[in-house]
Structure 1
Amino acid sequence: MINFEPRCVDEGRKVKVIVVGAGVGGILCGIRLPQHLPAAELVIYEKNKDIGGTWYENRYPGVACDIPSHSYQATFEPNPNWSTFYASGHEILKYWHDVAEKYGVRKYVVPNSKVEKATWDEQSTKWTVEVKSTVTGKVVTDIGDYVVCAYGLLNDWQWPKIKGLHEFKGKLLHTANWDESYDYSVTAMHYGIQVVPAILSRVRRIDHYVRGKTWIAPGFLSEEFTTDNCTVTQLQYPPELREKFRNDKDFYLDYRKGNGVAKHVESRLASHQKLMDQLTPSFSPGCRRLKPGPGYLEAIVDPKVNYITDPISEITPTGIATTDGVNREVDAIFCAIGFNTSYTGRFPVYGRNGMTIDERWSKYPETYLRVCTNELPNIFFILSPNTGPSTGNLLLVVEKQVEFIIAMLQKAQRDAIVIIKPKKTSVKNFSEYCHQYFSKTIFKEDCRAWYKSEAAGNRVTALWPGSTLHQAKVLKNPRWEDFQYEYLSNNKVAWLGDGWTVDEKLEGGNRSWHLDSENIDFPPQAEGFM
C-alpha cells in the first residue's frame, strides 16, 4: 500500500541552510539559493560588521584585482563602469555591495557573528552551529539541515614568525588589518608587490625585504593599448570608452572575451642585471602563482627602494636586522606575508563519529569535485581543496560551485533525502585523478607555493585538475551515482507527491508554463532556411 505524500511533485521540502561567510561566495548563495530553493530558510553568518569578505578586510594602499576588471565580476551582472583595467579593492567592494543590494541579499545576513563550532547530530540529521557575537561575546545556537562554508581562503591572516616582531616600537601593520588613518607620507618602511608602487611617491625610503624569487607577469595588457580607436594609458579607461561599454553590449561582450588585447609589457629590468638575478627564479613560470604587478618592476629600480634578499634575523625596537649583520632603522613595518591557506577548519567541524575537518584534511585534504567530502554529510564548501583554477576566472568557478550545491539541495528537497554525501570511492577516485593530473604538469617542479602541501609530499592541493572551463563543464551536471543517500521514509515513490503541481493548486498559478519561450528548447534551424 502506497501512502501518498500530501504535497505537490514540485513542492520542495522545507529545509534550513546555514551559510558561513558573506564574501563573494556567501553573496552568491544569498542570490541563488532563494531563487532556486524558495522553500528553504536561509541565514548567512558574517564575522565582520559588513559584507564583502576579503575585499572588505584588505584595505592596504594599492590593493587591487590582479586580473582584468571585466573578468572579475558575476556573469549575470556585468559592469561596464570599471574605471581601471585592474580594479581597486574599494571599487570591487562597491561592486559587490551594489550586487547584494540589487538582489536583496542583506536580509539574510547576520553581521558581527562568528561561527565557533558546527556539530553533526546523527539522530536529528541536522547541524548544530554555535555562533558568537563579535560585539557582545554572546554565544547562540542555530540548527540547520545543511551548512555551506563560504569563508574562502584569504581571511585567516598571519603575523610572520620573526624574533622581536611585537617589540617593535614603530607602526606595525598587516595588509589584512590595515589602519587607514595611518599617515605613511614621511616614513621609511618595508612591504610587497602591490603596496610598493602605490606608496612610493609618498615615502622617504622603502626597504623591500624579499624572501624568495618569483616571476612577475606582465599582466594581461601593456600599459598602453588601443581598442576601437580609444587609447588607454596607465591602465585607465577614458570616458569615451566607458560610454561605449555602457551603450554597445556587443562591443562590451567582445571586449570581456579578450579580443583585441595588445602585447604584454616588455621587461623593465634590462639594464639592472643584479635585480634580475635576485628576482628571477630557477623554476618555470607558472610553478608558483604568476604575479602581475603593474608598476612594481619600475618601482624597485627607483633610488628610494632598497631591494633586500638577505634573510631577516630579528626585529629590533627601532628596525630590522638581517643575517649579514646590517640593522636598518625604520618608522613602520608593513607585513605582507599573506594568509593561512591550509584547509584545516576555520572553526571545529564535527561530522559522523566525531570526525573533524582537521582530522580528515590534516595530511592531504580530499574532496569530491572540491565541493564536499565523505564523513561530513550535508555540508558543502566553496573554495575548498583542489578548487582554484591554475588558469582562468576564479569567480566563474565560485558561481558554478554554488550552482552545483543548489542542484544537490534541489535533489534532496525533491526526493525527500535527509542525508547526502559523496561515496568514499568517489572521493578517493577524484583525489587520485588530481594526483595523476598534476604529476605531468609544470606544478610538479620544485618550488614553494601556497597550493602545495608539504605534509603530503608537495602534492598540489589547491588547484583544479584542468582548465576553468573544464571545471565549469564538470560541475554543470552532477553524477548522482557518485553519492550516498538516506531518505526521510521508506516510501520510495514519495518524490511523486500527490499527483499535482504547485501551479495547479495555486490561485493564479501558471498552468501553461510549458508554452513560455524560456521553457522551450528550440532546436537550431537548417542552414539557409528562411
Structure 2
Amino acid sequence: MSSKRTLKGSASSSQRRVVVIGGGLSGITAGIALQRDLKLQNFTIYEKSDALGGTWKYNTYPGCRSDIGTHWYSLSTELNPDWSESHVLQTQLLAYWQGIAHKHHLHSHVQFNSKVTEIVWDDGQQVYHMIVQDVLTGETRRDHANAVICAMGPLDVPHYPEDLRGVLTKFKGVQFHSARWDHSVDLRGKRVAVIGNGCSATQFVPHIVKDPTNQVVSFCRQPKWIVPFSGVKEYSQFRRRLFRVLPFVLRLYRWYLYFRGESLYRFIHSGGKYKKSREAAQDRVRAYMKARTLEKYHDMIIPDTPLGCQRLIINYGYLEALNAPNHTLNYDGIAEVTENGIMTKKGESLEFDIIIMGTGFVVERYPIDIKGVNGKSLHQYHQEQGGPTAYRGVTTPGFPNLYMIAGPNTATGHGSAVFSTEVETDYIVQMLKPVLSGDASSFDVTEEATTAWNDALQKRLSTSVWSYCQSWYRVGHTKKITVIWPGNMTEFWWMLRRPIWKDYRAVDAERWERKMRTAKVSRAVRITISVLGITPSHGYNM
C-alpha cells in the first residue's frame, strides 16, 4: 500500500498547503472545512470572477432560483430560519453564500480574478505546480500545493452546441447565454428567439413574455416533463419566528425535506423503465400539463420517455406562458443560424433581433489542463474511459492528492447538491489529514479500485430509468452516463462516510500506517475489555 521515496525539497507539515479552485458553494464549503476540521490556514481559494458565489453569482436571469427546497439547499452547519419562501430567488442564495464566507473570514484566503489554467503533478517533490492567470491583465504567475481541491462544479462553462455555433459566428443581432445574462439588453418590442426548454429557460421565459411587445419563439429539441410546484410560496412571519426560536423545529423540517426527496427517488427514479408508481405519477403529470396549455401544443410538449429519466422541471409559470399570444413553440428543429435569425429544418426562415441560449453547461470536458503521474492529462484519462470517470466521484487514478467536488456520477435528480458537497468534503478532509500532518506525502487511488467502482456503477445505470432517454447526464446525450448517481442520498452518504484506505497507494506513509495499526489494536482492545466487562454482569443477573 505504501511506497517510500526520497523527496526533493518536500515541505514540512507546517508548510503544507492546499489550493481550492472555485469560489462557489463547493469552494466555500471546502474552505470552511479546512479551517474548522483541519485547523488549516495555509490554503488559497482561486476564483476567476470578482466575487464569491459561483453559479449564483453568474446566473442572474429573470426568475433564477434553486429547484430544491432552500432549507435543504443550505449547509447543515449554517441553517437560516429567515428564508422568505421555500424556493428563494438567486439574490437571496447569493447573499447567503457570501454571508457565510464572510462569517468564516474566507476572503483573506481568496484571490479574485484568478483563473487556474494548468496543474501539473511533480512526483519527485510530491506537489502540484500550477499556472494562474489574472483575467484582467492576462499576466500569469506560478503556485504550488501539496493537494488540490477542484470545486468548480459542472454548472460552470456555458454550453454552445456545435450545430448552433452560428449564434457566435454568423448572427448579426444580439446574443447571449442565459448563464451570462446581459442586463444591458432591452427586450421590449424585440423579436426574441429562446433556444432550449430546460431548467433555466423554463424559469426565465415566463418573465420575458410578460411584456406583450416582445415576440418570443422558443425552439425546443425534445419535450420535458414539467411537474407542479409543491413548495411554499412564502413563509409566514410566525413560521420564521418559530424556526428562529426553536432551532430543533427547523432541523426537523429539514429532515422532512430530506425524506421527501428520498421518497421521490423511491417512487420515481429507482427501478427500470417500467414502474407502477412512476407510471401513475406520469399519468398525473400528463393531465396536469394538458390542463394548463392549449390543445394545439399537447402533442408537442408531452414526452414519450419515462418520468425521471431527465431532470424534473418545476413549473414556475412556464406552462401558462405557453398560452401567451406573444409566445410560440417551435419543435421543427434548427437547420442553421443565419445572419438575421434561424432557418428551421422545415425550410422556414425566421428573423430575430435577439437570440438567448438556454442550452446548459459543458459537462463532458474539464475546464482546466490537469496532468498527473507520467504527464497523462485528466482529459486523456476521461477519453480512455469513454467520458468523465472517477472513484466515488472524488479521486482519479494517476492524480495523487487531487480531489473533486461534484465530480463524475455525483449529481442527483431528487436531492440537494449542498448535501452531496458536504458529504464529499468530509471525505476529502479525511484524505487530507495524514498529508497535512506530515504522516504521508500522497494518496493515489488504484486503477483496480476505480474500475471495480465504475463497473458496478455503470451496471446499475444501464438498467436504470436514466438509460431510456437522451440527456445531458450522458456523453453526447446518448452514450455513457457520467453525471447522475444511481442511488438515493442515504446510500451516497454511506458510500463516502469514510475512505477505504486499501483502495489507495500511499507514499511516505510509514508513520501513518503505524498509527493506523496502533488505532486498530486499541480499538480491538477496547471492544474486548467492553465484552469481558459485560459478560460477568449478565451471568450474575441471570
* Pair in the same fold by TM > 0.5: yes
1:42 corresponds to 2:43: yes
Q: In the alignment, what sits opposite 2:446?
A: 423
The answer to whether structure 1 residue 310 and structure 2 residue 332 are counterparts is yes
Query: 1:251 is matched by which residue type in structure 2?
Result: V
Give the distance between the partners of 1:370 and 1:251, measured in 2 at CA: 33
Match of 2:177 in 1: 174
Question: Which residue of the partner structure matches residue 116 of structure 2?
Answer: 115
Distance in 2 of aligned mates of 1:184 and 1:245: 41
For 1:54, the equivalent position in structure 2 comes to 55
Aligned counterpart, 2:206: 197
Distance in structure 2 (CA, Å) of the matches to 1:491 and 1:308 = 62
Which residue matches 2:240? 242
Aligned counterpart for 1:459 among listed residues 480, 496, 500: 480
Q: Give distance in 2, aligned partners of 1:128 and 1:337.
A: 34
Contact 1:15 1:40 in 2 (8 A): no
How many residues are matched? Answer: 471
Secondary structure of the corresponding residue to residue 358 of structure 1 = helix
Q: CA 1:337 to 1:203, structure 2 compared with 1: closer, same or farther past 3 Å?
A: farther
Deviates more, 1:459-468 or 1:111-120: 459-468
Does the 8 Å contact 2:151/2:406 carry over to 1? yes
Residue identity opposite 1:76 in structure 2: T
1:169–1:317 contact (8 Å) kept in structure 2? yes
The 10-residue stretch of structure 1 (139-148 or 152-161) with the greater mean CA deviation from structure 2: 152-161
The alignment partner of 2:164 has SS state of coil
Cα distance, 1:216 vs structure 2: 1.0
For structure 1, the 5+ residue unaligned runs are 1-10, 222-231, 498-530
Q: 1:28-427 residue pairs with structure 2 within 5 A?
A: 28-39=29-40, 41-160=42-161, 161-162=163-164, 164-166=166-168, 167-191=170-194, 192-204=201-213, 205-221=215-231, 235-258=233-256, 267-270=288-291, 272-342=294-364, 344-362=365-383, 363-414=386-437, 416-427=439-450
The 2-side partners of 1:286 and 1:434 are apart by 18
Distance apart, 1:50 and its partner CA: 0.9
Distance 1:203-1:58 versus aligned 2 partners, 3 A rule: farther
Q: Distance in 1 between matches of 2:312 and 2:360?
A: 15
SS at structure 2 position matched to 1:61: coil
How far does the alpha carbon of each residue in 1:97-119 deviate from its partner, in whole angstroms, 9 at most, with x for none?
Answer: 01101111111110000001000
Q: What CA deviation, in whole Å up to 9, does each residue of 1:144-184 have, x standing for no partner? A: 10111111111111334336424333321111222122222
Q: Could you tell me whether the CA contact under 8 Å between 1:12 and 1:410 is conserved in 2?
A: no
The structural deviation recorded for 1:493 is: 4.7
Q: CA deviation at 1:311?
A: 1.0
C-alpha distance in structure 2 between counterparts of 1:257 and 1:285, whole Å: 25
Is the contact between residue 118 and residue 370 of structure 2 (CA under 8 Å) also seen in structure 1? yes
Q: Does the 8 Å CA contact 2:26/2:421 hold for their aligned counterparts?
A: yes
Query: Which letter does structure 1 place at the counterpart of 2:177?
Result: H
Q: Deviations for 1:8-57, whole angstroms, at most 9, x for unmatched residues?
A: xxx96541101111111100111110112225610011111111111111
What is the root-mean-square deviation in Å for CA atoms of aligned residues?
2.6
Asked if the contact 2:464/2:486 (under 8 Å) is kept, the reply is no
For residue 464 of structure 2, what is the aligned residue in structure 1? Answer: 441
Change in CA separation of 1:255 and 1:491 when aligned onto 2, cut-off 3 Å? closer
Q: Distance in 2 between matches of 1:250 and 1:377?
A: 41
Q: Please give the alpha-carbon distance, in whole angstroms, between the structure 2 residues aligned to 1:202 and 1:236.
A: 25
The alignment partner of 1:404 has SS state of: helix
Q: How big is the shift at 1:488?
A: 6.1
Greater Cα shift, 425-434 or 381-390: 381-390
- CA shift, 1:491, in A, is 9.7
Check the 8 A contact 2:439/2:511 in 1, yes or no.
no
Q: Is the 8 A contact 1:67 1:220 kept in 2?
A: no
Matches within 5 A, 1:15-34: 15-34=16-35
Alpha-carbon contact 1:12-1:39 (below 8 Å) kept? no
Residues 65 and 494 of structure 1: is their aligned pair in 2 closer, same or farther, counting only changes over 3 Å? closer
Moved more, 389-398 or 48-57: 389-398
Structure 1 range deviating more: 317-326 or 375-384: 317-326
- Residue in 2 that maps onto 1:517: none
What SS does structure 1 have at the residue aligned with 2:20? strand
Sort the Cα spacing of 1:38 and 1:85 in 2 relative to 1 into closer, same or farther, 3 A: closer
Indicate whether 1:480 and 2:512 are aligned: no
Deviates more, 1:422-431 or 1:152-161: 152-161
TM-aligned CA distance change 1:294 to 1:472, over 3 Å: same
* Distance in 2 between residues matched to 1:476 and 1:183, nearest whole Å: 50
- Does structure 2 conserve the Cα–Cα contact (< 8 Å) formed by 1:184 and 1:203? no
Q: Give the partner amino acid of 2:36.
A: Q
Matched AA of 1:209: F
Cα distance change, pair 492–303 in 1 and its aligned pair in 2 (3 A): closer
C-alpha contact 2:21 2:47 (8 A) present in aligned 1: yes
Could you say what secondary structure the match of 1:84 adopts? Answer: coil
Aligned residue type for 2:457: C
Does the CA contact (< 8 Å) of 2:226 and 2:289 recur in 1? no
Partner Cα distance (2:71, 2:329) in 1:
33
Does the 8 A contact of 2:434 with 2:512 survive in 1? no
**Letter of the structure 2 residue corresponding to residue 293 of structure 1:** N
Distance across 2 between alignment mates of 1:100 and 1:194: 28
